[in-house]
Amino acid sequence: MITQGVKIATQCDACGGVLTRDIGQFIDCGRLWWGTEGACQSCTVAWCEQDSGGETPEEIRQALLSERGPARLRLIVPETSPVAVLRAFREVHGLTLTQAKALADELKTTGLVGTLVEMEFIAARLRQRSVRATVETLPR
């Protein structure tokens, strides 16, 4: 399982105490998941939420990118067959062919940038289609 998370301390809206939030993304059973949970140290405010499929909420993505930095996905062999790449993008994101082509062009030239878990998720789908890809972490 690939996972990445951060803990963030904020002020509790209910009592003004310290609210600790644990935010993250992970890959489990071939699916991209996100989760967030929080608990106030001074009152009873607490929650836990997670989901898979669809898009990770932007607040979670930005917290991971801010604390852990971005990752870049690149093709090891840029001349890879575009059909396998397009199929992988359409499976992962449910994109139209035009949208998938735009992402494939970006991947072939500069690479795709996102959270480590997102890039590893796409890389795994590419590898399933015999497309060689690598993920590198970038400085913050």
pLDDT at 116: 97
Reading the block at residue 132, the tokens are 């060689």
Average pLDDT, the chain: 93
The Cα–Cα gap between 47 and 35 comes to 11
Q: Which of 44-48, 90-94, 125-129 has the lowest mean pLDDT?
A: 90-94
Whether residue 139 has pLDDT greater than 80? yes
Q: What is the pLDDT of residues 13-30, one digit of tens each?
A: 999 999 999 999 999 988
Domain ranges of the chain: 2-68, 71-137
- The answer to whether the predicted template modeling score (pTM) of the entire model surpasses 0.95 is no
Q: What is the pLDDT of residues 53-70, one digit of tens each?
A: 778 999 999 999 999 999
CATH class of the domain whose range is 71-137? alpha beta
